[in-house]
Amino acid sequence: VVAEGSSQINIIEWMSLADSTILPLSQELTFTTSEAGDFMITVTDFMGCTYSLVVSVIFDGLEGLGSPTPLTFGLYPNPSNGLVNISFSKTIHQADINVIDMQGRIVFSLNNTSSLGEALDLNHLNSGTYFVSISSDEGFAITKILIQK
């Protein structure tokens, strides 16, 4: 996994979203892993501005790395007051849905769902920007959602 940037970068941090731990020896723009999973890189420049991005590493079989199949889904309303609907273009099987805050913490999780859609109650979340991550055997997708109360 490689992140490209300018020489004005002050702090680089890679985090495993599986357990919200900062990865040791991960202070470079390039991070190598042998484990599949979701990782978040946070880059801070000398002015204190930060940028975060969630990266999913998926190993596809024994022949090497494959490209994940993107899932097609709708997320509405966005912005939301806390009640969110997800609709899929086809029935998905054994999907994991995670809502991740800007610090990389999983703040909502729904595991092994199989359906054409889900209603998520995110009323417990504060106003702000979150990522909705969906992964299943059919593919993977991630998008932002804004909670406004």
Domain ranges (residues) in the chain: 9-57, 73-147
Task: Determine whether domain 73-147 maps to CATH 2.60.40.1220.
Answer: yes
Q: How far apart are CA 7 and CA 64, in angstroms?
A: 32
Specify the pTM.
0.56
Within the chain, strands assigned E span 9-16, 21-22, 37-45, 50-57, 73-76, 83-100, 106-121, 128-136, 139-147
From first to last of its 149 residues, what are the pLDDT tens digits of the chain?
Answer: 444 555 466 778 888 888 888 877 656 666 677 778 888 888 887 777 877 778 777 766 545 445 556 777 888 999 999 999 998 878 888 889 999 998 888 999 999 888 888 999 999 999 999 999 988 888 888 888 999 98
Q: How far apart are CA 74 and CA 57, in angstroms?
A: 23
Backbone angles phi, psi at 147, to 5 degrees: -100, 120
DSSP 8-state code for residue 122: -
